Structure 1
Amino acid sequence: MNLRSSWVAETGQTREDTRLNQVGATTMINPVQVRSGILPGSYDGKWRLSGFWMDKASAMTATVSEGRAVIQGDISQGVYPVALPASEQVTFAAGDAQYGRIDLVVLKIYDNLYDGSTRNEAKVEIIRGVPGQAPQAPVAPPRSLPLYEVTVPAGASAGNGGIPWNTALKDLRTPVVALGGILPVEGPVLPGAHPGQYQDTANNQLQRWDGGQWVAYPEAIGGIIPSSASTLTASYTGQYRDTPGGQLQRWNGSAWTPAVPGPYFVDNGDFGDTASTAYTPTLGGRATNPLTVNFVAPPSKAVAVSFGCKLRSGSPDHYAYMALKLTQGATVVNDLDDDYATIAASQHMVSVSTTRRYSNLTPGATYTLTAHFRVIANTLGLKGGFDNTYIKVDPLP
């Protein structure tokens, strides 16, 4: 038998046994006991857990690969370190003539002090299940570490193809690490032993035990949740996340919203004109009217709004105007005003633009800006012409 253990045999423990089993793996489950499990690692560094890997050797025989593990006894019995420095084969009994069964492969500690077995050793063993129409795996005995469940079909034997290894194995192995180490999760996710314990999940997410649950690492420290974990529920108002689309968002207490709203932009490249001397949102010749943009007021309560166009007034002595009206629903917050309009007098198209600040807005509220146009009163029937009109809203910090 290749499986070695320390502090089991009454006599005969060698220095080699002791050296092989100095594992230092103590993932705590309470102040006295540790989690039973296998030390992680692989030869090429590609896998979390390769110790005690099991695979087909022949029709009814499997090979259990080398590895190191710890097996926790009852609370007063301590923990048993074991090592398998070379692979070992286990052979399964032929299947029942009528029903299938599920066998359990375990690392088993025999300790005469506690089990009266007159044996003091560690073994790789098969615990045979009971055949049945709906077979169940046997319960792991005390001082043992389950490795695999193996489904043995009815009638399986070396002479008729044996065990279908590709579908028969259920991997039960779970890793352990040294006290304070980050646990790579394989198999079931078990509770932590103390706040501040860390684990690395199967989908490569670092988590911290907060005393009651595993919490994603960025949630625990106030960092940004990565896009790979963006489906997680927020845990506090003000938390940030990076979406798969690359947008930074902030949890406002009930929903994820853009962390930095905007900028908001709308434009219209069609030419339109008007002879109205009062402000109007409608330009003749345009397929789409009016030109509007909605925006959400930021926490700063202020935005910078730029707008402009190419325009002509039809005469160098008459003016054409483009101005904005700010509303919140049906309420006018800031009305049209020539003092804040773009203005030009020209019989040719000229580019005009301006920027102004809107303040004292309600954070989180939605506002609407609507472009209006007019020409100065005249007796010549002039029309103001407008092209390439746009509105841009930048939230201010």
Structure 2
Amino acid sequence: MPIRSGWLSPDGQTREDTRLVSLGALTPTSPVAARSGILPGSTGGLYRVSGFTVTGTTGTMTASVSPGRAVIQSTDARGAYPVALTEYLPLTFADGDAQYGRIDLVVLRVYDNVYDGSGRTEAAVEIVRGTPAASPVPPATPDVALALYTVAVDAGVSAGKGGIAWDSARADLRPTTVAVGGILPTRTDDTAPGGHPGHYRDIGETLQRWSSTAWVPYPKGVGGIVPAGVLTTGGYVGQYRDTTTLGQLQRWNGSAWLPAVPGPVFASSLDAGYTASTTYTATLVDTAVSALALTFTAPPSGGVVISLGARISTSGSETVQAHMSPQVTLGSTVVWAADDERAASGSGAVSKSQSTQLRLTSLTAGSVYTVTAMHRSSSASVNSWFDTLWLRVDPLF
């Protein structure tokens, strides 16, 4: 019968009944299955988990496994196996291969003859020996078993030749499990999904909540700033995170992380160039930087200040005007065309520094715009020169 109940059958409670009913209140992975893992806790609350800790003896091939409690989930119908180790258990690792190192796997394993035909009905802590290789990898975890540690065994090591380098050889793989509704303490490399929306876990000193699709740092209701390196995708629009590499605060807009305080944005060129075009052009002749441009993200106010300038001269003329004006585009759409009224202008054979500042409003917040420096000469027969060119955009708040 697929419906199991504790101590209700007139024929007595089966082993499957016991596993399914009493352990159904642990961290769920399905309506009837629980997450395999070690029950957390330590004397005095000093450690996240202390059960089934593997501790090696310096200079030897031996280690001991500390007492603890665990749950190992099999199939939904077969149920979960509770396991308890009540005293320290010794382990002895085989000597290293003469040529190559290997990686052994320490597991907590359940044998159930009714299902696996092993002839055994017990739980055991075992060493699954890895294969020596130039680049060794851990062996696969057996069925109905819990991976506890990997242990690297170098080539040629033995009890008489230094033993295992325990401090660097061990890698802790122990997962944890708690009662349903409990906060799950886990490692930073734990990629398992939550059991249900509203499931909480403590990871890397950060409290997270399962949203049904991702682990979201909590609390989000009070606008907590996510620590650096914790979250790749935002959990909600308006969430903030710190970025260590960029040293800036970012805000999730629903599809991307953008600077919480955008700008200022700056671009410049020290290479002089000229044009004799009487209509505005981005291209200058005789310069490695043929067009000076920058992009910026419109701030929430939709307003920015655009500044630009250059050292300007007109070859052999004191009356011809050289103009430098910004052109603003959104994709292929020109939002603000270059215009003499918005230009930094100058004339004369001797270069003079000219600049201007302009306010542009009614931009779409969050959209990415491009500003390009445009140039022209008031005479097609006179070259207008521009040197030490620069552009800058500052957001308005």
User: TM-score range, shorter-chain basis?
Assistant: 0.5 to 0.7
CA distance 1:183–1:137, shift in 2 (3 Å): farther
Counterpart in the other structure of 2:310: 309
Counterpart in the other structure of 1:279: 280
Q: How does 1:1-397 map to 2 (within 5 A)?
A: 40-41=41-42, 47-51=47-51, 53=53, 63=64, 65=66, 88=88, 130=113, 149-150=125-126, 170-171=147-148, 184-185=185-186, 199-201=201-203, 203-208=204-209, 215-217=216-218, 219=220, 221-231=222-232, 233-243=233-243, 245-246=245-246, 247-313=248-314, 314-377=316-379, 381-397=381-397
Q: Is the 8 A contact 1:104 1:138 kept in 2?
A: no
Q: Which runs of 5+ in 2 are unaligned?
A: 1-24, 28-34, 72-83, 93-105, 130-141, 149-172
The residue type paired with residue 367 of structure 1 is: Y
Q: Deviations over 1:121-150 (max 9, x none)?
A: xxxxxx866599x7779788xxxxx8x642
**How far did residue 305 of structure 1 move?**
0.7
Query: Which segment drifts farther, 271-280 or 336-345?
Result: 271-280
Q: Is the 8 A contact 2:40 2:48 kept in 1?
A: no
CA distance in 1, matches of 2:201, 2:239: 21
Q: Is the 8 A contact 2:193 2:214 kept in 1?
A: no
Q: Is the 8 A contact 2:177 2:184 kept in 1?
A: yes
CA distance in 1, matches of 2:91, 2:280: 92
**How far did residue 358 of structure 1 move?**
0.7
The residue type paired with residue 285 of structure 1 is: D
Q: Is the 8 A contact 2:220 2:239 kept in 1?
A: yes
CA distance 1:139–1:257, shift in 2 (3 Å): farther
CA distance in 2, matches of 1:170, 1:179: 22
**How far did residue 328 of structure 1 move?**
3.2
TM-score normalised to the size of structure 2?
0.55
**How far did residue 318 of structure 1 move?**
4.3
SS at match of 2:229: helix
CA distance in 1, matches of 2:211, 2:277: 67
The residue type paired with residue 286 of structure 1 is: T
CA distance in 2, matches of 1:103, 1:56: 16
TM-score normalised to the size of structure 1?
0.55
CA distance in 2, matches of 1:282, 1:210: 51
CA distance 1:317–1:395, shift in 2 (3 Å): same
SS at match of 1:394: strand
Q: Deviations over 1:20-49 (max 9, x none)?
A: xxxxxxxx969xxxx99756347996x533
SS at match of 1:237: coil
**How far did residue 62 of structure 1 move?**
7.8
SS at match of 2:287: coil
**How far did residue 312 of structure 1 move?**
1.5
Q: Is the 8 A contact 2:65 2:91 kept in 1?
A: no
**How far did residue 215 of structure 1 move?**
3.9
Q: Alpha carbon RMSD of aligned pairs, Å?
A: 5.2
CA distance in 1, matches of 2:301, 2:348: 39
The residue type paired with residue 266 of structure 2 is: F
SS at match of 1:227: coil
CA distance in 1, matches of 2:125, 2:263: 55
Q: Is the 8 A contact 1:38 1:173 kept in 2?
A: no
Q: Deviations over 1:173-220 (max 9, x none)?
A: 77689999965337997978996x85323x554224679986432546
Structure number with bigger Rg: 1
CA distance in 1, matches of 2:118, 2:383: 88
Q: Which runs of 5+ in 1 are unaligned?
A: 1-27, 72-81, 93-101, 106-126, 141-145, 154-166
CA distance 1:136–1:261, shift in 2 (3 Å): farther
CA distance in 1, matches of 2:359, 2:121: 73
Q: Deviations over 1:81-137 (max 9, x none)?
A: x997xx555799xxxxxxxxx9968xxxxxxxxxxxxxxxxxxxxx866599x7779
CA distance in 2, matches of 1:375, 1:345: 10
